[in-house]
Amino acid sequence: MAYPTVVLIPLCVPGHLTSMLEAGKRLLGRSRCPMSLTVLVTQMTMSANMMSDVADIIRREADSGFDIRFVHLPAVELPTAEHGGLEDFMVRFIQLHGTYVKEAVSGMSSPVAAVVMDYFCTTLFDVTRELALPVYAYLTSGASMLALLLRLPALDEEISGDFEAMEGAVDLPGMPPVPARLMPTPIMTKGPNFAWLVYHGNRFMEAAGIIVNTVAELEPSILAAIADGLCVPGRRAPTVYPIGPVVPVKPPGDGEQPPLHECVRWLDAQPPASVVLLCFGSMGGSFPSPQVREIADALEHSGHRFLWVLRGPIPADSKYPTDANLDELLPEGFLERTKDRGLLWPKWAPQKDILANPAVGGFVTHCGWNSILESLWHGVPLVPWPLYAEQHLNAFELVSVMGVAVAMQVDRKRDNFVEAAELERVVRSLIGGSSEEGRKAREKATEAKHLCRKAVADGGSSEVSLQQLAREIGEHREYQGRTEATPLPQHVHYPAATLGAASHG
């Protein structure tokens, strides 16, 4: 008899795919009964670099020793860009796969125990409803973003205008009042991107559960507010399973170790906690010339050691920056003047390995959730420099809720511009300084490191949550979720080929 399988439907971009695969492997390891994973792969052809990275991830996981099967769905014609916005494009792209997903899931030789979908894929809840299968949403962001998504349908009714024009703060249960100017980029104006996030928030209520890459002890008040129904008054939200941090960590001595990266070798020669890292994710690190000069001035005048991952321009046909030409980008003489205490790296850098090095004492980050968790896993305090997506909300939480970061003034109206004096101030505060805010951030980051590691150890909160999830999925109960369809946003055009389009009108 074939083992039951859990079907994973990721958003096939590296940050989302890697996180979901790691969560799936952990789920297999906690199941009392043998189970496998089946991953449905969409051809996310947004850029050649992205598809190459996805192919590398799939190749690596196929050799991981876990029972993972990858099913490549047929290619679809990409949606037009007539509405604008990355979120709108991605959701409509996923939506086009409805028929193929239904055929793949219904035709599997193994019984399907459950389907786990990235939260961008909630239009495919129609498939699981028709097949009477339990569906779980997987959120690669933190509990604050989950609380906002659940709250957003009500906020849409309460707030008539755009968030970017709103004065004051937004009530987000479990958090201090959040300034409206710090809302996630896709919801600042009520366009198609906003409509889709409202749609996701509504569809979350149909899920058998919501799996979140967070640690209960890092966001306790937010998780409690969700559980108490404060985000969806009058209703009860699905069970939330905080299972993080989902940070892939290769055990020491696990197979042949590759040579140390040049960045890591350089860090090995630096004193403990003496280096500030500036790194902005796989799609970040490219700045216009005026901003590069401000960063360079700040690092030079701070007097502290630094490792700066500086990338070149992003081509029009890609989401990834190019390798940087440092001589063209940097002020004349900067490299020579800082050569004894700084390293400029113009290419992709192994951020996880860098953060693991004891020489790193602070991290200037774009506040992607994966980067945040990697930093906290190693106890490295942060300086938030949010750029897009939900990163401004994450930055607010790091400073005002967790206390693991030193706040920096980022001018969102000037394309998230940071003045040299402001960056110099926070570097001095965090690296070897005696400022009270720097000391508190370092202490809180060390505390967060212990909380993260305790959570995934035997008996830890994330381990218990994962075991609970594995037990529930292993019961193979026929799903008795909602049977009515959730309407699609009305002012967005949807392809006629979409599964369930007729029932949605």
- Residues labelled as active-site residues: 16, 118
DSSP string over 359-395: TEEEEEE---HHHHHHHHHTT--EEE---STTHHHHH
> Tokens in use for 105?
């899931």
Other CB atoms within a 10 A radius of the CB of residue 257 amount to: 9
Nearest residue to 100 (alpha-carbon basis) of 76, 133, 116, 135: 76
- Could you tell me which residues are beta bridge partners of residue 383? 364
- Could you tell me which residues are beta bridge partners of residue 38? 7, 69
Do residues 187 and 111 lie in contact, with contact meaning Cβ atoms separated by under 8 Å? no
Where are the strands (E) in 171-221, listed by range?
Answer: 178-179, 209-212
Going 348 to 352 to 357 to 362, the CA torsion angle's sign is positive
Nearest residue to 301 (alpha-carbon basis) of 432, 382, 420: 420
Under 8 Å CB-to-CB from 25, ≥6 apart: which residues? 37, 64, 66, 68
Name the residue type at position 100: Y
Report the alpha-carbon distance of residue 367 to residue 45 in Å, rounded. 25
Alpha carbons within 13 A on the beta-carbon side of 140: 28
Report the alpha-carbon distance of residue 309 to residue 360 in Å, rounded. 14
Do residues 187 and 152 lie in contact, with contact meaning Cβ atoms separated by under 8 Å? yes
- Longest CA span, the chain: 69
> Tokens in use for 425?
């101030």
9 membership: H or E segment, kind and range? strand 5-9
**β-strand 68-72 against 169-170: which pairing, if any?**
unpaired
Report the alpha-carbon distance of residue 88 to residue 197 in Å, rounded. 9
Report the alpha-carbon distance of residue 9 to residue 149 in Å, rounded. 20
